[in-house]
């Protein structure tokens, strides 16, 4: 027994020494010589990338600025993790940081004070990082100076050991990383999948190399959902246990609007990539279709396979796209309209037969807004709006907060139905006592 205790202590000391030596090398990580690009084209590109890859983690649920937030979707055993304040405040935020320092954090996950943080180093090319920096240096309200000090990440003992053993500075060059030409090709799709870190969430492993192996993109990684319960990522390979049978339209609606073909919402912590355009969606779709199908039925995970006929298999080469899937006038199957029609209550007048509480549950709103859920406090804020404004928010929340994780429900409920739901929310909604 005494020998086993000594061995355990010795192993812990070795792990600690490895972590300390790693910190020394992390502090010396190169600074990418990249400057903010504030041209109109770069600002548009930078906003699209920032909203898709940064905003969901750095903007707190109750805030309109990127002041940092607790990473509540991370397993509790890792400790208490926080993201940084990215506003223009000179001390609490990044107002005094050099472009090279922010670029280093994006590319390598290394902070200004030489710490490695639980943020994946990005494969984003130089031109795209410059665009993101340009947007972050713009006068956009997201970055308005805010003195909120984001708490420092505090790993648990086990979390610190795990992070120290699996994390390392990515082997990216400091400069010269290209951005593929924007086109519906596998090359650009692969790049965008890496920028969005699709494999990081949809591969059941903390080792980035596993995304290219049998586990790649097959789901199963555990997170904490908006309701505080464990949730596992879905299989997004084109297997029958994944998204086989999804059309480009199905895929786009799920990724951008947060609505799966089976009528269910795409759950938190999955972001909504609303700023991704048609080319981005086509390229991502084709890239995922080109990958090996992996059989992995993830219990409780959505989205599931669409129940109707599968889309034709894509025969693609690294510089081509599936004409069956993406060319104008092609026969693109989508199961969404019929299934969504079944989901929604009667859309015809009169609206007195709509049960708003049942509709609230069927639309998946309880996952985020029920008492105790991550966004429950938003219900209290909603009561200050008029019924008409709240109904418009319910149908198209992205028009009010472009980076919102709330799904776009305009294709599910019409204006009169949304008004019934808005009136119910203003009367207390999920917090109101049941009659």
pLDDT tens digit sequence for 167-181: 778 888 999 999 999
* CATH number for the domain whose boundaries are 344-431: 1.10.760
Model pLDDT, residue 310: 37
Model pLDDT, residue 238: 95
Which of 5-9, 195-199, 227-231, 372-376 is predicted with the least confidence, judged by mean pLDDT? 5-9
Model pLDDT, residue 147: 96
Place of tokens 């990515």: 170
Model pLDDT, residue 153: 84
Model pLDDT, residue 6: 35
What's the Cα-to-Cα distance from 428 to each of 125, 153, 288, 290, 434, rounded to whole Å? 48, 36, 43, 48, 10
Is 200 within 8 Å of 219 (Cβ atoms)? no
Band (pLDDT 50/70/90 cuts) for residue 22 is very low
Average pLDDT over residues 212-227: 89
Model pLDDT, residue 19: 41
Model pLDDT, residue 25: 54
* Residue range(s) in the chain whose domain bears CATH number 1.10.760: 344-431
Model pLDDT, residue 13: 33
Residue 360, pLDDT above cutoff 80: yes
Average pLDDT over residues 141-163: 87
Is 133 within 8 Å of 102 (Cβ atoms)? yes
Band (pLDDT 50/70/90 cuts) for residue 216 is very high
What's the Cα-to-Cα distance from 146 to each of 40, 150, 177, rounded to whole Å? 25, 11, 33
Residue 296, pLDDT above cutoff 90: yes
Residue 43, pLDDT above cutoff 50: yes
Band (pLDDT 50/70/90 cuts) for residue 432 is low
Average pLDDT, the chain: 81
E-only strand ranges, 211-349: 222-224, 230-232
Task: Tell me the Ramachandran region of residue 163: left when phi exceeds 0, alpha when psi lies from -120 to 50, beta otherwise.
Answer: alpha
Q: Could you give the CA distance from residue 140 to residue 266 in angstroms, rounded to a whole number?
A: 28
Which position has the higher pLDDT, 76 or 282?
282
Q: Could you give the CA distance from residue 104 to residue 112 in angstroms, rounded to a whole number?
A: 8
Give me the percent of the chain exceeding a pLDDT of 90: 43
Band (pLDDT 50/70/90 cuts) for residue 119 is confident
Band (pLDDT 50/70/90 cuts) for residue 302 is low
Average pLDDT over residues 394-423: 88
Which position has the higher pLDDT, 414 or 11?
414
Give the three-state DSSP class for 205: coil
Residue 127, pLDDT above cutoff 70: yes
Residue 162, pLDDT above cutoff 70: yes
Identify the top-confidence range among 38-47, 77-86, 166-175, 352-361: 38-47
Residue 321, pLDDT above cutoff 70: no
Q: Could you give the CA distance from residue 231 to residue 204 in angstroms, rounded to a whole number?
A: 12
Q: Which two tokens stand for residue 248?
A: 């480009």
Q: Could you give the CA distance from residue 127 to residue 407 in angstroms, rounded to a whole number?
A: 30
Residue 435, pLDDT above cutoff 70: no
Whole-prediction pTM value?
Answer: 0.79
Residue 76, pLDDT above cutoff 50: yes
Model pLDDT, residue 352: 52
Which position has the higher pLDDT, 399 or 208?
399
């Amino acid at each position: 027994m005494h020998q086993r205790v000594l061995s355990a202590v010795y192993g812990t000391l070795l792990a600690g020494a490895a972590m300390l030596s790693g910190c020394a090398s992390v502090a010396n990580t190169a600074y990418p010589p990249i400057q903010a690009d504030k041209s109109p084209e770069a600002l548009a590109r930078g906003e699209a990338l920032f909203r898709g890859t940064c905003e969901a983690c750095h903007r707190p649920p109750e805030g309109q600025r990127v002041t940092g937030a607790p990473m509540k979707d991370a397993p509790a055993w890792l400790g208490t993790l926080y993201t940084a304040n990215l506003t223009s405040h000179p001390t609490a935020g990044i107002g005094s940081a050099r472009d090279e320092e922010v670029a280093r954090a994006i590319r390598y996950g290394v902070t200004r004070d030489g710490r490695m943080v639980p943020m994946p180093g990005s494969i984003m090319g130089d031109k795209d990082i410059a665009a993101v920096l340009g947007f972050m240096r713009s006068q956009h309200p997201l970055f308005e100076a805010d003195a909120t000090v984001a708490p420092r990440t505090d790993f648990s003992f086990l979390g610190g050991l795990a992070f120290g053993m699996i994390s390392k500075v990515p082997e990216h060059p400091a400069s010269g990383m290209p951005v593929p030409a924007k086109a519906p090709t596998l090359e650009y799709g692969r790049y965008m999948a890496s920028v969005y870190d699709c494999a990081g969430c949809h591969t059941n492993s903390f080792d980035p190399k596993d995304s290219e192996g049998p586990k790649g993109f097959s789901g199963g990684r555990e997170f904490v959902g908006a309701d505080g319960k464990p949730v596992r990522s879905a299989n997004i390979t084109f297997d029958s246990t994944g998204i086989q049978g999804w059309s480009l339209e199905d895929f786009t609606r799920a990724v951008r609007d947060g609505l799966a073909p089976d009528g269910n919402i795409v759950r938190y912590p999955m972001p909504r990539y609303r700023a991704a355009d048609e080319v981005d969606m086509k390229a991502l779709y084709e890239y995922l279709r080109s990958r090996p199908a992996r059989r992995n039925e993830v219990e409780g995970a959505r989205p599931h396979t669409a129940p109707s006929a599968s889309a034709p298999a894509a025969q693609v080469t690294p510089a081509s796209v599936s004409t069956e899937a993406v060319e104008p006038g092609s026969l693109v199957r989508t199961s969404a309209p019929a299934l969504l029609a079944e989901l929604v209550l009667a859309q015809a007048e009169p609206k007195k037969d709509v049960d708003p509480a049942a509709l609230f549950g069927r639309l998946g709103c309880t996952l985020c807004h029920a008492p105790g859920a991550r966004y429950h406090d938003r219900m209290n804020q909603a009561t200050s709006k008029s019924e008409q404004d709240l109904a418009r928010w319910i149908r198209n929340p992205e028009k009010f907060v472009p980076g919102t994780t709330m799904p776009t429900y305009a294709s599910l409920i019409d204006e009169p139905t949304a008004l019934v739901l808005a009136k119910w929310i203003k009367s207390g909604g999920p917090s109101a006592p049941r009659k």
